[in-house]
Structure 1
Amino acid sequence: MMSNEIDAGPSETSLTPQSTRSTTPESVRSITPEYKRSITLFDNNDTTGRVMLNVGAPSVGVLRRAAVLINEASQARLTSELDSDCLLLQYGSPLGDERCLEALTLFLNKEYQQPVNKNDLAITAGASTTLALLLISIFPNKCRIYTEELTYFVALKSFSFLSYDTCPVGYKDDGIDVDELEQIWTRDLTDEVHKSDNKVNYVACLYLVPHFHNPTGSCLSDEKCHKLIKLARRFKVLIISDDVYNLLSYEGKPPKRLFAYDSIADKDYGIGCVVSNNSFSKILSPGIRLGWLEMPAMIKERYWLRSPILNSGGGLNYYMGGVLACILELGGYDHLLQSIRTDNGIKMRHLISVCNQKLPKDFKFYSEPKGGYFAMIMVPLRINAQGLLNFLRYVCGIRLHSGDIFSAAGQNTKNERSIYLKNSLRVSIGYLEVPEFKAAIYDLVDCINTYDSTRKDA
């Protein structure tokens, strides 16, 4: 438990569950006519509410600063194109705009504080699109996808939508249970690896969020990263590493990405076993639909450069990649990224401090994240988390996600560990501005305490 002093907040008497105080940023409650407003994914999916602690997206303040950078960069890049042949508006290279790749390489070397090779990179249209494209390209005849027991719920939906079988693997404080994973792969894949010879590159896939995990905020330990690479090479498994939170470490150097552990200098490197799937959605804007991929040479040559999809339509979101090049070149983005980290750190520390001091002692955090967007509150089994979630939504107007939607174990599992993990609430810190977020957390704990004192599911 943290002992940080709680930031001064509104009085408890003003934060009752029936409060009608809105935590929506003032800029959202504008006088813009409805027909001129953009309809967001949250509107479309009915995930809005008075207090939105469910949404893994940047705040309005971040988007406004991003809009300034995008506006300046768009003008600069279009001016440059008009002075030449406007080739940025043509079908583009599958790898993306060359100028963007150069700028991105410099940016990543500085931010990761680790070597990044431009030849490993491709510009993408974001992590979700890239995940689907990788799967249908590398595993067109399907394969089993192994996942952490708790993982990103939309990834689970994507695997089901694309008709891929999934297998959950236990999850511990420092990430996926690699000992259990080794046992499962020994059982499932030993014969398949022996039969495959060199006819297939990979016999299965592992999807995971190694750092600042969604939903728990945990990080995969260094020891586990090393062991995971050895296992993947041994069993011919491709690891798709969801790295969208890696650059959101609140303090100090970001964690070493899993891709960097798969060193080409290793004697048993083979063809490479990790792709690093990244996005600018959390660190600039989700609406621009931009990301990047780091991948082994074999995957780049066979599945990216030769992709009929990319050889028909060209590079993904090619124009916005060109704009991104200017964003990175002109400066100003570094300040935005650092402010996102700073604000997220303030919000996360406030969340943990307030909850640890004001909630009953049997409410605990799965981990106390040092980066990323999410934290997971473990609800004691004496309380039904789904009942609490419904109370928070329908009585208090507070939106969160419960742990069950992140569970790869299924709804009918009898496993005690899975039941414990599912009885939880995920809090997202990104969407609200700092003042609104601080008020929302006081509101949240008051509502949880009210439910706990009056509940009928005891």
Structure 2
Amino acid sequence: MITNKFSAIQRRVLSTTFICRVNKQFFKSINMDQNYPKKNEDRMLKHLFDGSDWNVYDKNITNLGVGAPGPDILVKCCDIFEKATSHRMKLETTNQGMLFQYGPTVGVIEVRSGIAKFLTDAYKSEVKSEDIIVTTGATQGLHIILSTLIDLNGYIFVDEVTYMIALDVFRQFSTLKIVPVKLNSDGVGIKALRAFLEQKQFKSETKSFWGLYYAIPTYHNPTGITFSKDVLKNLITLAREFDILIACDDVYNTLYYGENVAQKRLYAYDDPNDDDFKGNVISNGSFSKIIGPGLRFGWLEVPPRCKSILETCGLLNSGGCLNNYTSGIMASLLDLGLGQAHAKMVKELYEERMLATCDILRNNLPKSCQFIEPQGGYFVWIQMPEDTDANAFLQICIKRHKLFFIPGNRFSLDNNFKNCFRISIAFHQKEVIQSSVRRICNALKEYLNL
């Protein structure tokens, strides 16, 4: 137990080390703990990261771990949402206040059409409003997919390094078996995935799919890679052959930088005009990264076989649209062009920060270290020599340089990739990020005795 005899920085080091060791046994111990608390504590927190080692607002340390927009971006939402809300409220006075009623299960047509048009422009590829289901964000979208479409005695295939909170979500479905698959520089290892599918396949008697592959094909979290066209095509082949579902975490797809162009999402490769089309891919998206996570607003882009099941599930039938009020405000935001302008501004800021970060790493990172230069997104993946430990390096960064990042083993089901770590370019302004990345490079030279 961490007591007050430690300094704030020491507590941060100890707690961070503990966080990075989260695994199945930890979750099991929580579920089995019989020392129940006597009462709840009202901690008066202001945001998700408040009161934790992830507090990106803490002025005493520069946190490059959190993948969230910073205050310079979020404060700009105040004006555009005031305008969009005023616009929507005027409409509602002649619409019988329908916005405050239970909404249609998949979301009102105005917002689904707005999302479809916004994404069609951003993806440079058609998105249809009839394929859209409104959610409160990608995490809820993933939870709905797991609880509605996947056999709970089945399998979830994940990249050997993947989004750490997704792993936490999967672990809570304790009967599902999680299988890590090799990740190459151009995407998931197709041969390895095929071998697992052949070994694990069974016929589900209760749900539409016996297995799910959780994918982040575009600007992968944490590595930043983008899956190649060949890998994407092969994934469609595998999904159809073994009839698994692929749930794509597509929250970064619109954030492409420099000379790069929009990447064709996996959902578009699953072409309904193909003779063997079944509908094996869902695109799970969110406005959290490009407007603001506090909106709790996202979408699922789904094929017909999945939509017919999802829109009749108990969750949607009981409450209707999962975010009806915000849907109306977002419909006005997009109708007025305010959402598009804000997303463009955000993309330009992130692009500037990412290009500056990669430039510093190219010129200052020790030669014994490597980094993957992303084409877009939020994150940069840095690899130290094999015999090093990012958790030990993190403690040095916290103590001596007041810098925080996330060690690679936090993204691994099997606690591997200890010599890697992830930094984010999203929260801090360009000058802060530049200074911090230079300090990380200097700290690496110190840690490696260079």
TM range (shorter): 0.7 to 0.9
Q: Which residue of 2 aligns with 1:343?
A: 349
Q: Amino acid of the residue matched to residue 119 of structure 1?
A: E
Q: Which residue of 1 aligns with 2:233?
A: 226
Q: Which residue of 2 aligns with 1:285?
A: 292
Match of 1:333 among 314, 331, 339: 339
Match of 1:267 among 275, 279, 289: 275
After superposition, give the CA deviation of every residue in 1:278-315 in whole Å (9 maximum; x if it has no partner).
0100000000100011001111112x211111111111
Query: How far off is 1:341 after superposition?
Result: 1.9
Q: Which residue of 1 aligns with 2:408?
A: 403
- Could you tell me how far apart the structure 2 residues matched to 1:266 and 1:422 are? 43
Q: Is this contact kept in 1: 2:388–2:418, CA < 8 A?
A: no
Q: Which residue of 1 aligns with 2:399?
A: 394
Moved segments of 4+, more than 4 Å: none
| CA root-mean-square deviation | 1.9
1:6-405 to 2 correspondence within 5 Å? 39-48=46-55, 49=58, 50-139=61-150, 141-163=152-174, 164-189=176-201, 192=202, 195=203, 201-251=208-258, 252-270=260-278, 272-302=279-309, 304-365=310-371, 367-405=372-410
- Could you tell me how far apart the structure 1 residues matched to 2:281 and 2:338 are? 32
After superposition, give the CA deviation of every residue in 1:296-352 in whole Å (9 maximum; x if it has no partner).
1111112x2111111111111111011011111112332322222222222222222
What SS does the corresponding residue of 1:203 show, helix, strand or coil?
A: strand
Aligned length, in residue pairs: 403
Query: How far off is 1:71 after superposition?
Result: 1.5
Higher mean alpha-carbon deviation, 341-350 vs 81-90, is at 341-350
Query: How far off is 1:381 after superposition?
Result: 2.2
Query: How far off is 1:118 after superposition?
Result: 1.1
Structure 2 unaligned runs (5+)?
1-41
CA, structure 1 residues 200+130, in 2 after alignment: closer, same or farther (shift >3 Å)?
A: closer
Q: Amino acid of the residue matched to residue 169 of structure 1?
A: V
- Could you tell me how far apart the structure 2 residues matched to 1:148 and 1:266 are? 27
Q: Amino acid of the residue matched to residue 315 of structure 1?
A: C
The one of the two structures with greater contact order (alpha-carbon pairs below 8 A, sep at least 6) is: 1
Query: How far off is 1:435 after superposition?
Result: 1.9
Q: Is this contact kept in 2: 1:100–1:321, CA < 8 A?
A: yes
After superposition, give the CA deviation of every residue in 1:397-427 in whole Å (9 maximum; x if it has no partner).
211000001012x13xxxxxxx5x3311101
What SS does the corresponding residue of 1:345 show, helix, strand or coil?
A: helix
What SS does the corresponding residue of 1:41 show, helix, strand or coil?
A: coil
Percent identity, aligned pairs only? 32
Q: TM-score, normalised by structure 1?
A: 0.84
CA, structure 1 residues 200+137, in 2 after alignment: closer, same or farther (shift >3 Å)?
A: closer
- Could you tell me how far apart the structure 2 residues matched to 1:319 and 1:395 are? 47
What SS does the corresponding residue of 1:404 show, helix, strand or coil?
A: helix
After superposition, give the CA deviation of every residue in 1:159-214 in whole Å (9 maximum; x if it has no partner).
0012121000000001101111111111221xx2xx55x97532211101111000
Q: TM-score, normalised by structure 2?
A: 0.86
- Could you tell me how far apart the structure 1 residues matched to 2:325 and 2:48 are? 23
Query: How far off is 1:109 after superposition?
Result: 1.3
Q: Amino acid of the residue matched to residue 406 of structure 2?
A: H
- Could you tell me how far apart the structure 1 residues matched to 2:344 and 2:45 are? 27
